[in-house]
Amino acid sequence: MFLYLSDNDLACALHKQAANLEKNVQTPNKFGYLCLDIRKNMPVLEKIVISDFRNIQLQELEFSPNVNCISGNNGEGKTNLLDAIYYLSMTKSAFATSDKFNFRHGTEEFSLAGTYQMENGMTSRFALKMTSKGEKKVRRDDKPYPKVSEHVGVLPIVMISPADISMISESGEERRRFVNAVLSQMDREYMSALQQYNRLLMQRNKMLKEMDVDRTLLEVIDMRMAMLAEPIYQKRKQFIEDLKPIVSEYYRALSGGSELVDIEYESELSKAGLEQLFAASFDKDRILKYTSAGLQRDDFSFTMNGHPIRRYGSQGQQKSFLVSLKFAQYEIMKKNYGFAPVLLLDDVFDKLDMSRISNLLQMVASNDFGQIFITDSNKVRMSGIVDRLTQDRAYFETVSGTFSRI
């Protein structure tokens, strides 16, 4: 059950919470010290130019290196701005599975360009253009990448949004997408191996649809897939082992509850090698005409007190778990890179009660967070939170895809 407060009550409560944080600025806790000026040695988005992306026709915006707040009614374009920033880092949308949904209505291409201050103190300009014919090009300082995928991981980023609920409510594909996105940013070998595995999987499935399967060629594909699968499996396994204790710690801090949350990696490769699995499932695969074993069936179960959080977790508990999961991702990426990724918080305060909002404020204030972008339809709530954290912030308001600094 959630406790909803008036805007005045919320602002007063946040003021009191922030004042308590200021008194304890030098008090260490399990998340570190209160430190809002840690943007050394990290990429900072100084300016972005967006053309024909979603409902944004043409916008040029300059940002604070610290906290950037975007307000506006639902459907006006707040999330689209965050997705444009995400796209410029990951070369794909955080939401749309197909690029056809990212073009502004009636247009045949969109472009994104961002000016970043990089970790070496130099300024770099990244530009991305996508056409309706499927042509995607990414440039850094006017030099094209040989492969678009080589850009992934150059501008590390973490996004928390209401759409994350799909990781709890939907199939394992959503959870694999999350793990793959994190590991691909940090590990080029992982991304390359995964891409090769998926290409061979498509080839294998195509062969299984044929009347007469070339067993010799299939065995060659199986052997190659097995070589790729083992390091992918091991890296997924290690990532989950690293993630679990951090998620638990953040969940306790955010929810204040006694529930025990956990993540388990479920993979057929924990029982046998991929070639053995393929051999055992061959007859079944011939009937189904697709590959029924392998990494593409991996899953990650989220539990609370030993039970599936999808069934037994309340709305607040589920959101607290997902925020904790993404903050844990942030911590792991920060350790891996040696600096803080850009953090996108899309409507993160929505449907959280006052206790969880206060705890979230404590977590943000007590960590070495870098550049942050926050959206919220409640301008009073957002300003009440941010103004007590830092004066180094910028406010934007959007109406129908047009943004103005306020």
Query: pLDDT by residue (tens digit) across 363-381?
Result: 776 567 889 999 999 888 8
Q: Please say whether the beta carbons of 93 and 83 come within 8 A.
A: yes
The values of phi and psi at residue 117, to 5°, are -90, 120
What is the DSSP secondary structure assignment for residue 301, as one 8-state letter?
Answer: E
Six token digits for residue 108: 């045949």
Alpha-carbon distance 262 to 305, whole Å?
8
Residues whose CB is less than 8 angstroms from the CB of residue 75 and which lie 6 or more positions away in sequence, other chains included: none
Predicted confidence at residue 140, as pLDDT, reads 97
The full set of domains in the chain, from first to last, is: 29-156+341-406 (3.40.50.300), 169-337 (1.20.1050.90)
DSSP-H helix ranges across 268-378: 274-288, 309-312, 315-337, 354-365
The residues, any chain, with a CB within 8 Å of residue 252's CB and separated by 6 or more, are none
Position 253 scores a pLDDT of 87
Token pair listed for 190: 């992982």
The Cα 137–Cα 82 span in angstroms is 20
- Give every CB contact of residue 191 below 8 A, 6+ residues apart in sequence: 149, 152, 153, 183, 184
Phi and psi at 61, nearest 5°, equal -130, 140
Instruction: Return d(Cα 50, Cα 399) in angstroms, integer.
Output: 15
Name the β-bridge partners of 396: 70, 405
Alpha-carbon distance of 304 to 262, in angstroms, equals 6
- Residue in 375, 318, 381 with CA at minimum distance from that of residue 17: 381
Q: Is the dihedral of CA 159, 161, 166, 168 positive or negative?
A: positive
Q: What angle, 0 to 180 degrees and rounded to 10, lies between the N-to-C axes of helices 354-365 and 215-255?
A: 100
**Full strand arrangement of the beta sheet holding 261-266:** 261-266, 299-304, 307-308
- Give the whole-angstrom CA distance, residue 276 versus residue 215: 15
pLDDT value of position 400? 95
Contact 31, 364 (CB under 8 A): no
Report the pLDDT value the prediction gives residue 50, as an integer from 0 to 100.
98
The whole-angstrom separation of Cα 406 and Cα 389 is 18
As a whole number of angstroms, the distance between CA 241 and CA 174 comes to 19
Model confidence pLDDT, tens digit, residues 6-38: 444 444 444 444 444 333 333 333 333 223 334
Angstrom distance (rounded) from CA 75 to CA 102: 15
19 vs 135: CA distance, rounded Å: 52
Assign 378 to helix, strand or coil. coil
52 near 111, Cβ under 8 Å? yes
Q: Which residues of the chain have pLDDT under 50?
A: 1-39
From the list 209, 200, 204, 202, the residue with the least C-alpha distance to 289 is 209
If residue 70 lies in a helix (H) or strand (E), which one and from where to where? strand 67-71
* Sequence-ordered list of residues with C-beta below 8 angstroms from that of 149, at least 6 positions apart, any chain: 91, 191, 192, 195
The residues, any chain, with a CB within 8 Å of residue 130's CB and separated by 6 or more, are 99, 102, 103, 109, 110, 111, 136
The mean pLDDT of the chain is: 87
